[in-house]
Amino acid sequence: MNETVLISSEGGIATVTINRPKALNAINADVMQALNDWFGKEYKTIEGLKGVIVTGSGEKAFVAGADIKGFTNLTVESGSKVSKFGQETFFLIENFHVPVIAAVNGFALGGGCELAMSCHMRVASMNAKFGLPEVSLGLIPGYGGTQRLPQLVGKAKAMELTLTGGMVTAEEAHDIGLVNYAVEKDELIDTCMGIFKKTKSKGPLAVSKAIAAINAYYDNAKNGYETEYSTFGDLLVSDECKEGVSAFIEKRKANF
């Protein structure tokens, strides 16, 4: 585990905090590796684990996306590989054996929105904003967003959010079914704990099997994930993406 992701635990509930507040907790390779390590094996060091909260450091962001600045010079192959590793990591979260709740404390954009969607439930504070702005960068969501957003909000809203790259507030996210609860900032963690209080008292095997059974409903989306990561690799080397990323770094509007 590296310092870009912090782990704490109390009473069987672990908190996984993405910790790059200066970059609004953008997911770079270290963050993705740390998430993969923790949800893949390191969680085993916590005895009696009953639930996990995923959140972001600081006041402003949950996770403002993949680290746009750290992903330059990728090829079709390495771009697809980055996207595939991210998908695999988020599958570990989606299929985790105890409930995982995203405590969304600010911007959840791009990869951040995708991270939140890979969790079993989402609780948002009123300052949270959700969106998939990848098309503004000449890209598509690369960590399962094209598959999980329609699962959660239906095709029409998923199309609108993804094709416009727009953002929705916590309340709007609640209205469209993207989050379970939208609450005041100081109620965020208590609301998550309230859910865990109920799930903790239930049969652990039953809870884990229920997660697996509900996930099985969506299994036919697998080809879509493949389409997503191979398309992502192609787009990464496109002129459009180069322009979109340069525009972000140079703090100007993209000229597509």
Q: Which residues of 143-173 are buried (b: 16+ CB within 10 A; e: fewer)?
A: bbbbbbbbebbeeebbeebbeeeebbebeeb
Q: Is 76 in the site for ligand DAK (CB under 6 A)?
A: no
Q: Which of these is catalytic: 59, 77, 114, 228?
A: 114
- Residue 129, C-beta contacts closer than 8 angstroms, at least 6 positions apart: 106, 107, 108, 109, 167, 168, 169, 170
Q: Is 41 in the site for ligand DAK (CB under 6 A)?
A: no
Main-chain dihedrals φ then ψ at residue 161, nearest 5 degrees: -65, -40
d(CA 121, CA 188): 13
Q: Which of 59, 48, 51, 42 is nearest to 15 (CA)?
A: 51
Q: Is 158 in the site for ligand DAK (CB under 6 A)?
A: no
Q: What is the dihedral of CA 138, 166, 179, 143, to 10 degrees?
A: 0
Q: Which region, judged by CB under 6 A, interacts with ligand DAK, from 10-18, 49-57, 59-67, 85-93?
A: 59-67
Q: Which region, judged by CB under 6 A, interacts with ligand DAK, from 35-43, 49-57, 95-103, 108-116?
A: 108-116
CB 86, CB 142: distance < 8 Å: yes
Q: Is 31 in the site for ligand DAK (CB under 6 A)?
A: no
Main-chain dihedrals φ then ψ at residue 97, nearest 5 degrees: -80, -10
Q: Is 233 in the site for ligand DAK (CB under 6 A)?
A: no
111-150 positions binding ligand DAK, by CB under 6 A: 111, 133-134, 137, 139
Q: Is 69 in the site for ligand DAK (CB under 6 A)?
A: yes
Give the sign of the dihedral formed by CA 19, CA 130, CA 83, CA 138: negative
| Minimum CB–partner distance for residue 117 and ligand DAK (Å) | 12
Q: Counting Cβ atoms within 10 Å, is residue 201 exposed (0-12), middle (13-18) or buried (19+)?
A: exposed
Among 62, 96, 107, 181, binds ligand DAK (CB under 6 A): 107
Q: Counting Cβ atoms within 10 Å, is residue 253 exposed (0-12), middle (13-18) or buried (19+)?
A: exposed
Q: Is 24 in the site for ligand DAK (CB under 6 A)?
A: yes
| Minimum CB–partner distance for residue 135 and ligand DAK (Å) | 9
Residue with smaller CB distance to ligand DAK, 52 or 64: 64
Q: Is 64 in the site for ligand DAK (CB under 6 A)?
A: yes
Q: Which region, judged by CB under 6 A, interacts with ligand DAK, from 44-52, 109-117, 193-201, 208-216?
A: 109-117
d(CA 23, CA 69): 10
Among 109, 117, 119, 178, binds ligand DAK (CB under 6 A): 109
Is residue 187 part of the annotated active site? The answer reads no
Main-chain dihedrals φ then ψ at residue 248, nearest 5 degrees: -65, -50
| Minimum CB–partner distance for residue 76 and ligand DAK (Å) | 11
Is residue 134 part of the annotated active site? The answer reads yes
| Minimum CB–partner distance for residue 74 and ligand DAK (Å) | 5
Residue ranges binding ligand DAK (CB under 6 A)? 23-24, 26, 64-69, 71-72, 74, 79, 107, 109-111, 133-134, 137, 139, 236, 241, 245
The residues assigned a catalytic role are 114, 134
